[in-house]
Chain A
Amino acid sequence: MTTTAAAVRSNAFLGRATRSGALVIGVALVVITIAAALLAPWLAPHDPNEQNVIDKLVSPNATYWLGTDTFGRDVFSRILWGARISLLVGFLSTAIGIGIGVAIGIVAGYFGGAVDRWISGANDVLMSFPQIIMGIILVAVLGPSLNNLVIAIAVTAIPAFVRVARGSTLAMKERDFVDACRALGYSHPRIMFAHILPNILDEITVMGSLWLATAIRTEATLSFIGLGAPPPTATWGGLVREGFDNLLDSPGLSIYPSIAILIVMVGLNLIGDGLRDATDPRAPT
């Protein structure tokens, strides 16, 4: 019985999701990026950090598909390897943000009262601070490294998930099945995480896909400012930055990694919008 209901529901979901086509295009763009990141060691024609003094700032040709940078490094290979950093930092920090934020949000929504007031109050303050500025100050204070980058972006992600999880939990705890759980004498953690959590995953997934885009953008932004993974590690934001210093002579150095950033950003935004429309049929699209 439940399997049939679930099947009908997922069919309707898929129908709505694919109708617009946006979700399909988005998934395709993101899958291409993930594949490029995973296969970078095999796809990249050159070592991303190999310097070649003779071939400095070469225009795109058969050997260097997108040309070389000021150190004679192959831009195409660096973009491929940069995809690994961008996606890794994006996924890791979003996952950490979801884990911590959702746990706090469910607790706030479930217990309500003073617990909720304090958590929500603190959360609103965190949310009101510009996310990029917060990222900048966190990395600046912690010191630039890949770990600290993940921590900083995860911290800026937490408030959004606290808010979503709290709101959804507030609605969910009025439902009969939660009363039933209480009547059966289940513990609070069991009700919160075994019964409420699975029922609010839809909202969290939508938020997660939109946040993944924000996280990747923040990583690129911080790297562009010079607060990303230290050189010579190739990161998309760092590549744009290096190119920016040679914008007049070799605009390609900035343009190609920018295109890589745009592909994944457009892909993730299309997925987020598609998921939102699909999970909320009443939302005007």
Chain B
Amino acid sequence: MIRYLATRLLYALPTLLAVLTLVFVLVRIVPGDPALVIMGDQATPEALRDLRERIGLHLPIWQQYLAFMGQVMSGDLGRSLITNRPILSDVAAVLPFTIELTVAALAIGIVGGVPLGVLAARRRDGLWDWIARIVSLTGLSFPAFVSGILMLLAFAIHFHWFPVISRGWPLTDPIERLRSLALPALNLGLIMIAYVTRVTRSGMLKALSEDYVRTARAKGVPARVVVWRHGFRNVLIPIVTVIGLYFGVLIGNSVLTEIVFNRPGLGKLIIGALEKRDYTMLQGLMVIYAFIIVIVNLVTDLAYGLVDPRVKTT
């Protein structure tokens, strides 16, 4: 297991380098002078020169690249252009909120999607199948900000079941914290429910039509055992795949969920950086996303080993 982990980590390195390179390129495709873009037309030549030297724009591009990589690898994301605070400490302050939100959404996706997909597959075109279809169509069709606003209007403003603003409650008040997490997590989890329902349903339909399932049924194995032990175990791998594949969608949608529910988090940091043209902050946040992606890929790989004994982990 440790060797498996080590090789996976080793494989993750080139991906990390590639994603970081992508970030470097994305942030530098500014048409014209980036310093001018950041400071606007009214900036004096001296101010522009200052800024270029401060963030290293006066260096040739390959030196900028090496400096960027070196800095990131040594765990430094630089300082915000606007507040001059270390970016990493700003990120560390809000990262728990974004992690809390995405993990809760993921849990909702699995807890909602798996049973729905299994129920739908047990009887094709039955009541549950239709419910599953409507739920997954809804999840895929609602942009996160639209579903968020509608939920906010219905459950927070109209019925007062949940707080309107999901403040960052301290851990000492777990009830309020959960109450303020509920709506945003449900909103973010909606699309995951849709993906998980779909993949579970189609995987179960395929698994339940296999010969060994027919044999098990013929032998008189109870339906529950057939469904969960003979059928469902085959669907674990596609479920893990789909979660890994669409985790990026969760990360993207978390930005919108944080805006709509006014929650602290990476998304709110991005929006703040956009408004203030905080170029170094944007770059730092992209680096954080790059690391999140690589970690998610790694966890997905490890999950394969856990759910399927055929994946060699030794």
Measuring CB to CB, which residues of chain A are less than 8 angstroms from any residue of chain B? Answer: 121-122, 125-126, 128-134, 136-138, 140-143, 213, 217, 220-221, 224-227, 237, 240, 244, 247-248, 251, 254-255, 258, 261-262, 265-266, 269-270, 273, 283-284
Contact = CB atoms under 8 A, between A and B. Distances in A.
B255 A133 contact: yes
Given A224-B256, A269-B140, A140 B146 contact: no
Contacts of B101: none
26 contacts: A125-B19, A128-B293, A129-B19, A129-B293, A130-B289, A131-B249, A132-B255, A132-B256, A133-B252, A136-B255, A136-B270, A137-B27, A138-B29, A141-B37, A221-B144, A224-B145, A224-B259, A225-B271, A225-B274, A226-B274, A240-B149, A247-B149, A261-B146, A262-B141, A262-B142, A266-B141
Interface in B224-263: 248-249, 251-253, 255-256, 259-260
B297 A244 contact: no
B256 A221 contact: yes
A137 B143 contact: no
Closest 3 CB pairs of A and B: A132-B252, A130-B248, A130-B252
Contacts of A262: 141-142, 146
Contact of A141 (B27, B253, B290): B27
A137 B282 contact: yes
Q: How large is the interface on B (under 10, 10 to 19, 20 to 34, 35 or more residues)?
A: 35 or more
B178 to A, nearest CB: 24
A217 B142 CA distance: 9
Where chain A touches its partner, the secondary structure class is helix
B248 A258 contact: no
Contacts of A221: 143-145, 256
B143 A133 contact: no
Interface of B: 15, 18-19, 22, 26-31, 37, 137, 140-146, 149-150, 152-153, 157, 201-202, 205-206, 248-249, 251-253, 255-256, 259-260, 270-271, 274-275, 282, 286, 289-290, 293, 297
A215 B146 CA distance: 16
B140 A129 contact: no
Contacts of A254: 149, 153
Contacts of A134: 26
Contact of B141 (A138, A141, A237, A269): A269
Given A121-B18, A137-B27, A284-B206, A247 B152 contact: yes
A143 B37 contact: yes
B293 A247 contact: no
A213 B143 CA distance: 10
Contacts of A137: 26-27, 282, 286
Given A251-B153, A258-B149, A269-B140, A142 B248 contact: no
